[in-house]
Amino acid sequence: MSEANVEIVKKIFSDWARGDFSSVDWAHPEIEFTIPGPDSHVHRGVDAMGRAWAEWMHAFDELRVIGEEFHDAGDKVVVKQLFRGTGKSSGIPIDETPGAAVVTIRDGKVIRFEGHTTLEAALASAGLDD
């Protein structure tokens, strides 16, 4: 099942790499969504995730989130990611800005998406830091 989980996450990131954030078919209705930052807390449910993600994305033009590495951790997939885009108000490009995520799958749906600023932090969160 873990290979199937990796494929689910790769599909999500494939869409995001093209700048397509429109689908939430992959999300469990009770998803827990966190992104790093000063207002980091758990957003519960698809609607709350959408609002949080949209608020964060609002600061950028042509945002892309590229999955570079996918680490199988059973029901979790750790993703090393890059953010690309342009600051909406500043015009400053954010090429090659790193990040990571731990994506937890249950019954073929993402039940938890946990954003991190580093791959090391994401690996530790998923229990793969040894």
**Can you point out the beta strands (E) in the chain?**
27-34, 43-44, 60-73, 76-87, 97-106, 109-116
pLDDT of residue 2: 85
Q: Hey, is 122 helix, strand or coil? A: helix
DSSP state of 55: H
Mean pLDDT of 75-91: 94
Q: What is the pLDDT of residue 5?
A: 96
pLDDT > 60? residue 1: no
Q: Is the pLDDT reported for residue 40 higher than 80? A: no
Domains of the chain and any CATH numbers: 2-125 (3.10.450.50)
Q: Which residue has 């519960």 as its token pair?
A: 44
Q: Residue 103: what pLDDT?
A: 98
Sheet with 76-87: strands ordered across: 43-44, 27-34, 109-116, 97-106, 76-87, 60-73
